[in-house]
Amino acid sequence: MWDRFSSAEMERRYGLARGLMEKHGLAALVVFGNSGVSRANMANPFWLSNHLDLHHCYLVVPFDAGEETALYTGLTNHVPNAREVSDVPIVEWGGYDPAAAVAGRLRELGVTSGRAGLVGVNATFSMGMPYLHHARLGDELPELELVDVTLPYARLRLTKSEEEVEWLRNAAELTDRAIVALAEGARPGMSDVELVALAEAAYRPEGGMPRIMFLRSMAMDDPNGCLPAQNPSHRRIAQGDVIITEFSASYWGYTGQIQRPIFVDAEPTPDWQRLFDVALEAYERIMEVLRSGATEADAIRAGSVIGEDGYAIYDDLVHGYGVDIMPPIVDRSCVQWWPWDDANPAPEGRTFEAGMAVVVQPNPVTPDERMGLQLGQLAVVRAWGAETLHAVPFEPLVAAA
- For the chain, give the secondary structure using H, E and C: CCCCCCHHHHHHHHHHHHHHHHHHCCCEEEEEEECHHHHHHHHHHHHHHCCCCCCEEEEEEECCCCCCCEEEECCHHHHHHHHHHCCCCEEEECCCCHHHHHHHHHHHCCCCCEEEEEECCECCCCECCCHHHHHHHHHHCCCEEEEECHHHHHHHCCECCHHHHHHHHHHHHHHHHHHHHHHHHCCCCCEHHHHHHHHHHCCHHHCCEEEEEEEEEEECCECCECCCECCCCCCECCCCEEEEEEEEEEECCEECCEECCEEECCCCCHHHHHHHHHHHHHHHHHHHHCCCCCEHHHHHHHCCHHHHCCCEECCCCEEECCCCCEEEEECHHHHHHCCCCCCCCCCCCCECCCCEEEEECCCEECCCCCEECCCEEEEEECCCCEEECCCCCCCCEEECC
Per-residue pLDDT at 1 exceeds 90: no
pLDDT in tens, 44-88: 999 999 999 999 999 999 999 999 999 999 999 999 999 999 999
pLDDT in tens, 231-241: 999 999 999 99
Question: How far out from the chain centre does Cα 385 lie?
Answer: 21
Per-residue pLDDT at 183 exceeds 90: yes
Mean pLDDT of all residues in 281-295: 98
Q: How confident is the model at residue 400 (pLDDT cuts 50, 70, 90)?
A: confident
Q: How confident is the model at residue 322 (pLDDT cuts 50, 70, 90)?
A: confident
Cα(339)–Cα(37) distance, rounded to whole angstroms? 34
Question: How far out from the chain centre does Cα 97 lie?
Answer: 30
Confidence at residue 254, expressed as pLDDT on a 0 to 100 scale: 97
- Given a contact cutoff of 8 angstroms between Cβ atoms, the answer to whether 379 and 388 are in contact is yes
- Of the chain, the percentage scoring pLDDT greater than 70 comes to 100
Residue type, 308: E
pLDDT in tens, 125-153: 999 999 999 999 999 999 999 999 999 99
Per-residue pLDDT at 2 exceeds 90: no
Domains within the chain, CATH numbers bracketed: 7-156 (3.40.350.10), 162-399 (3.90.230.10)
Cα(241)–Cα(142) distance, rounded to whole angstroms? 61
pLDDT averaged over the chain?
Answer: 97
Mean pLDDT of all residues in 369-398: 97
- Given a contact cutoff of 8 angstroms between Cβ atoms, the answer to whether 249 and 175 are in contact is yes
Cα(138)–Cα(113) distance, rounded to whole angstroms? 11
pLDDT in tens, 366-383: 999 999 999 999 999 999
pLDDT in tens, 191-238: 999 999 999 999 999 999 999 999 999 999 999 999 999 999 999 999
Confidence at residue 80, expressed as pLDDT on a 0 to 100 scale: 98
Confidence at residue 221, expressed as pLDDT on a 0 to 100 scale: 97
Cα(359)–Cα(258) distance, rounded to whole angstroms? 8
